[in-house]
A and B are shown apart, each in its own frame.
Chain A
Amino acid sequence: MAAETENLRVILAKLGLDGHDRGLKVVARILRDAGMEVIYLGLRQTTDSIVAAAEQEDADAIGLSMHNAGHMTLAPNMVKALKAAELDIPVIVGGIVPDDDVARLHEAGVAAVLGPGASAEEVARVVRDAVQANRAGAQA
C-alpha cells in the first residue's frame, strides 16, 4: 500500500535519561494530524525497549527526539540494534543536531534528521518519504 494513504505506524521515543519531551509531543500531534498512528513510548527508552515495541507494533518508522548532545552515541546505537534484530525500519532523528553531525548521522544509517525549525508539513513529509524510500530500497 502507498505510504501516502495508509495509516503509517510510527514509534516516537526518547533514548536515555533526558526528560525534554516538548518536541516529541508536538511531533506526535503533527503526525496524528497527518493521519498517522503514533505509538508513543515517550521518555527513558532503551534501544532494547524500542526494538521490542517495533517488532510487536510492526512499526513503519521510528522517530527519536534528541535534546542533549547524546545523538552521536544514541542514534547510531539505535540503528545498530535494529539491524541486529533484523528489523528494516527507518530511523528519523529530531532535535538540535549541529550541521557537521547531520552528515555523520546519515553515514551511521539514520534516514533523516529534522531540525528545530521544521514545519508540520515538512515533518510529515520527511516521515512519509523515509518510509517510501525504505520500501523502495527493500524491494530493489
Chain B
Amino acid sequence: MAPPPNSPLHLVELYDAARGGHRRSLGRLLTLVERGGAEAERISELAHPDSGRAHIIGITGAPGAGKSTLTGQLVAKLIEAGKRPAILAVDPSSPLTGGAILGDRIRMDDVVGVVATDAAAAAAGDGPDRTSAFIRSMATRGHSGGLALAVPLAVRLFDAVGYDPVIIETVGVGQVEVDVVGAADTAIVVVTPGMGDAVQANKAGLLEVADVFVVNKADRPGANDVRRDLDLMLDLSHLTGQESADGYRPPILMTSALTGVGAPEVLAAAAAHLDHLDASGQRTSRRRARIRSEIQARMEQKLAALTEQMLASTEGAELLSKAEAGAIPPTDASAALLQRLLAGPA
C-alpha cells in the first residue's frame, strides 16, 4: 500500500477514517501535526468544528515521580468506566542530536493492557475494551515553540475524533512543559516523598498552575511531610491572594500508583474540578486563554520564521553587515527590517 501522499484530499480521507475509529489514520495525522506547516494547519481546520467537547487533563511532575504509572492507572479506570481516553506523552529531545528516547508507553501499556487480546475479550464480553485508549509519544524536538503549536493541535485532533478525556503528560521541568499543562482544563501536579519535590514544584511554578496535587508513592516515609509542605504553600498563596478568587483550593491526594490505590480518587477530583470550572464559568475562560495563547504562539513562530528569512535576504544581509561594521546601531537595523517586514512582500 502506498503511503498517503499528503494532498488535502488525502487529509480529508485520513480524518474521516480517524473519526470512524481507524487508529492508523489517526497515527498518521498526528505525525503530520507534529511536523507542522500547511498540512498541520489544514488538519486544524478539519478538526476545529468537531472539537470542544473533551475534558483536557494535564499531568506533570519531576522525573521519577511516577507520572506514567499513575497515568496508566487513570487510563485503566477510565476504560473500565466506558470512556475513550487519549494520552499524549511528551518527552524531551536531545538538544545535541535532535533524537529522543520515548519510554512512557512501557508503564502505561502495562496497566492499559495488551491491546488486541483485550479487544477479543471485550468483544466476547469478558472485560473492558482497552483498545478504546490511544497513546501517542511526542518528542519536544528542540525548536522553540514547536511544542506549543503541536500539543494544542494534537489535543484538538484527539478531541475531534472522539477521545475524551485527553490527557497530556509532560516532565515538569521546562517552562514550555509547564505552560502546556497549565493550559489544560485540569492540571494535575505529581510529587513524591523525600526528594524535596514540593519545594522544587514551587520553584518551577507548578504550584500556581495545579488544580489537583497528587502525592505519589504515599506509602513511603516522608509522604506526610510533603503533604504538609503543600498545605503550607497553599495557605501562603491564600494569604498573599494568589489563591483563586472563588475559593477553589486544590485537593492533595495521597496515592500509591503501584497498587492502584488512589486512582479513582484522582479521577473524582479531576471530575469535581471540571464541575467547578463549569459552574464558575471558568471552563470558558480557560478555553479562551488557551485559544489566545495558541494564536500568540502561532504568530510568534511565523514571525520568527519571517525574521530569519528577512535576515537572509539581500536587504537584511546588507543592514546586518552595516550593523556589524558599526556603521549603524543594531536598533536602527532591526527597526528598518521590521518596517520592511510589516510592509509586506516587495
Q: Which A residues fall within an 8 A CB radius of B?
A: 1, 6-7, 9, 28-29, 31-42, 46, 48-49, 51-53, 55-58, 85-88, 135, 138-139
B251 in the interface (beta carbon within 8 A):
no
A53-B109, A56-B134, A135-B3 known; A39+B97 contact, CB < 8 A: no
CB-CB nearest in chain B for A48: B116
**Given known contacts A48-B117, A49-B115, A58-B28, is B1 in contact with A138 (CB within 8 Å)?**
yes
Asked if A49 and B102 make an inter-chain contact with CB atoms under 8 angstroms apart, the answer reads no
**B99: which A residues are within 8 A, CB to CB?**
7, 31-38
Report whether B23 and A40 are in contact in the complex, using a CB–CB cutoff of 8 Å: no
Alpha-carbon gap, A46 to B101, bound state (A):
20
On chain B, the residues within 8 Å of A85 by CB distance are 24
Q: When the two chains form their complex, are residues A58 and B30 in contact, meaning their CB atoms are under 8 A apart?
A: yes
| Chain A residues closer than 8 Å to B312, beta-carbon distance | none
Q: What are the 6 tightest A-B residue pairs by CB atom distance, in nearest-first order?
A: A32-B99, A48-B116, A58-B27, A52-B115, A58-B31, A40-B103
Q: How far is the CA of A88 from the CA of B1 in the complex (A)?
A: 7
- CB contacts (< 8 Å) of B93 on chain A: these are 37
Q: A53-B109, A55-B27, A138-B3 are in contact. List 9 more A-B contacts (CB 8 A).
A: A33-B96, A38-B100, A39-B102, A39-B105, A41-B105, A41-B109, A48-B115, A56-B135, A57-B137
Task: Check if B101 sits within 8 Å of A38, measured CB to CB.
Answer: yes
Instruction: Give B139's nearest chain A residue, CB to CB.
Output: A37
A-contact 0/1 string along B1-18, CB 8 Å cutoff: 111000000000000000
Min C-beta distance of B121 to chain A, whole Å: 12
Answer whether residue B136 sits at the interface, using C-beta atoms and an 8 A cutoff. Answer: yes
Q: Which residues of A contact B117 (CB under 8 A)?
A: 46, 48
A87 touching B105 in the complex, CB below 8 Å, given contacts A32-B100, A33-B97, A34-B99? no
Q: Which residues of A contact B94 (CB under 8 A)?
A: 32-33
Tell me which residues across on chain A come within 8 A of B1, comparing CB atoms.
Answer: 86, 88, 138
Whether B27 lies near A57 (C-beta < 8 A) is yes
When C-beta atoms are compared, the residue in chain A nearest to B109 turns out to be: A49
| A83 vs B103: C-alpha distance when bound (angstroms) | 25
State whether A55 touches B3 (Cβ < 8 A): no
Is A28's CB under 8 angstroms from B98's CB?
no
Give the residues in chain A near B23, CB-CB below 8 Å. Answer: 52, 55-56
CA distance A56 to B93 in the complex (A): 19
B98 adjacent to A52 (CB under 8 Å)? no
Most buried by A among B30, B101, B106: B101
Tell whether, in the assembled complex, residue A49 and residue B114 are in contact, meaning their CB atoms are under 8 Å apart: yes
Residues of B within 8 A of A51 (CB): 116
Partner of B106, one of A40, A48, A57, A87: A40
For B137, the chain A residues whose CB sits under 8 A away are 37, 39, 57
List, in ascending order, chain B residues with CB within 8 A of A42's CB: 103, 106
A58 to B212, CA, bound (A): 32
- List A contacts of B96 (CB < 8 A): 33
Q: List 12 A-B contacts (CB under 8 A).
A: A7-B99, A33-B99, A35-B98, A35-B99, A37-B100, A40-B102, A41-B105, A52-B23, A52-B116, A55-B27, A56-B135, A87-B24
User: How long is the Cα–Cα vector from A46 to B119 in the complex, in angstroms?
Assistant: 14
Q: In whole angstroms, how far apart are the Cα atoms of A7 and B93 in the complex?
A: 10
User: In the complex, what distance in Å separates the CA atom of A35 from the CA atom of B93?
Assistant: 9
> Measured between alpha carbons, how far is A36 from B135 in the docked complex, in Å?
19
Tell me, rounded to whole Å, the shortest Cβ–Cβ distance linking A39 to chain B.
5
B269 nearest CB across to chain A (Å): 28
Q: Tell me if B60 is interfacial: C-beta within 8 Å of chain A.
A: no
* Residue among A6, A58, A135, A138 with max Cβ neighbours from chain B (10 Å): A58
In the bound complex, CA of A35 to CA of B96 (Å): 9
B216 at the interface (CB under 8 A from A): no
